Amino acid sequence: MNEQETLKEKLASLRSEHRDLDDVIARLAERAPYDQLQMQRLKKRKLMLKDQIMVLESRLLPDIIA
């Protein structure tokens, strides 16, 4: 497997985890009261995933010089 395919698989995995965290956060927010600390940790993890996704996407897409 080449590097491009490995990056694509990692990207798909990160996107899936990001969506799953979205669902967990939404369900947690629906039930009151909820654990603020847990919510902060989930949101922080989601942001870290988003950053990792952006890094991988930038590695997969070649730079275009205009």
Phi and psi torsions of 2, nearest 5°? -85, 175
pLDDT, one tens digit per residue, over 14-41 is 999 999 999 999 999 998 888 999 999 9
> Which pTM was predicted?
0.84
Angle at 60 between CA 8 and CA 6, to 5 degrees: 30
pLDDT, one tens digit per residue, over 33-65 is 889 999 999 999 999 999 999 999 998 887 666
- State the pLDDT at residue 22: 96
- State the pLDDT at residue 61: 85
> What is the chain's percent helix, strand, coil content, to nearest 5?
80, 0, 20
The more confidently predicted of residues 64 and 2 is 2
